Amino acid sequence: MRFTSTDLAQVEATWQQFVPSSSLQDADPHRFRFDWHSEELVSGSLVNYRLAAQVHSRAEPVDQILVCRVDAADARVWSRGRSLDAGRPWISDGALIEAKWDRAARVRAFVFDRRAAQQSARLLTGDDRLELRTTGLSPHSADAARSWERAFAYIESAMEDAQAEPLLIAELERHALMMTLSAFPTTFGETSTRPVQRGAAPSTVRRALAFIDENAHLAITIDDVAAAAFISTRGLQYAFRRALDITPAEALRRARLAGAHRELRQGVGPSVSAVARRWGFSNSSRFAAAYRQAYGAAPRVAEV
């Protein structure tokens, strides 16, 4: 969704569709301009807007994880009287966050459904009792903050090219969540340092490979593969490394590359990039490089 507006009420209503607790206060209506861009993920959203005005914004997420970066030369960001570094993103799963700027700001945010994010974190860690919570508001470090911002830019660019391909969108949401949980202090980080579940057997790997072969054309994730194999995601990763010396993600990527190869040979799809997107490859040049490495030739749609 994209639009430009000078209507304060419309702007606030739009932002509240994504974060119901948000509000814009003390905005100067005489020099108010709003440029909005958002993308729907599977159970969350990506938001990127520019707001030119003197503004005091507030957000107190309910049943959501909100990760946000306010980019403005004169921005101030705080929570319950505690100042946050306005040059870095912040995270909240319930804490009230306020920001103020006098001229213009660019705001970038991921909004995750907390329950869906928690389920993903449980699958990854193998801990069915994990209660996903933030344990701090700021990223681990300046490097972690930069990594999150690079991930945001990549995912926003890829979403614009995704053209509503469910498989690709699911992968991008998973990447957004994992980058967020890696960059910020949460209970996920604490749980992921515990010993991995190692109760995997070769039959587990075979079940996982069969599930991948049957469902690679769908928007499945490694979490789905692990669930189908009746093991945690971390346990599955260990089992694949031990049995095949590859990761489950690599096995899924290879299956999708093979699916794209079949479609190209059969002349399915209007173009190489369209086939690549359908199989979850957002970057055409990387797809071409992987295809050439696997099949010894550049990808092309066969004439039928």
CA atoms of 132 and 279, how far apart (whole Å): 31
Contact 280, 259 (CB under 8 A): no
Identify any residues that bridge with 152 across adjacent strands, giving them in sequence order: none
Tokens 């069915």 belong to 128
Tokens 């344990």 belong to 135
With a cut of 80, say whether residue 241 has pLDDT above it: yes
Tokens of 89: 């993103």
CA atoms of 175 and 120, how far apart (whole Å): 11
With a cut of 80, say whether residue 194 has pLDDT above it: no
With a cut of 90, say whether residue 201 has pLDDT above it: no
Predicted confidence band at 196 (pLDDT cuts at 50, 70, 90)? very low
The helix (H) or strand (E) run that includes residue 267 is none
Q: What is the pLDDT of residues 60-99, one digit of tens each?
A: 999 999 999 999 999 999 998 899 999 999 999 999 999 9
Tokens of 65: 């994880």
Is it true that 2-114 and 142-295 share their CATH fold?
no
With a cut of 80, say whether residue 171 has pLDDT above it: yes
| 3-state SS assignment for residue 25 | strand
- Among 36-40, 191-195, 273-277, 289-293, the minimum mean pLDDT is found in 191-195
CA atoms of 279 and 191, how far apart (whole Å): 32
Average pLDDT for 251-276: 87
Predicted confidence band at 130 (pLDDT cuts at 50, 70, 90)? confident
- The H helix count followed by the E strand count for the chain is 11, 11
With a cut of 90, say whether residue 211 has pLDDT above it: yes
User: Rounded mean pLDDT of the chain?
Assistant: 86
With a cut of 80, say whether residue 161 has pLDDT above it: no
**What angle, 0 to 180 degrees and rounded to 10, lies between the N-to-C axes of helices 248-265 and 202-215?**
30
| 3-state SS assignment for residue 256 | helix
Predicted confidence band at 195 (pLDDT cuts at 50, 70, 90)? very low
With a cut of 80, say whether residue 31 has pLDDT above it: no
pLDDT at 7: 83
Q: What is the pLDDT of residues 97-129, one digit of tens each?
A: 999 998 889 999 999 999 999 988 887 776 777
CATH topology of domain 2-114: Jelly Rolls (2.60.120)
Contact 272, 288 (CB under 8 A): yes
pTM of the shown model = 0.70
Q: What percent of the chain has pLDDT over 90?
A: 34
pLDDT at 163: 65
Q: Domain 142-295: state its class.
A: mainly alpha
pLDDT at 116: 93
Domain boundaries, the chain: 2-114, 142-295
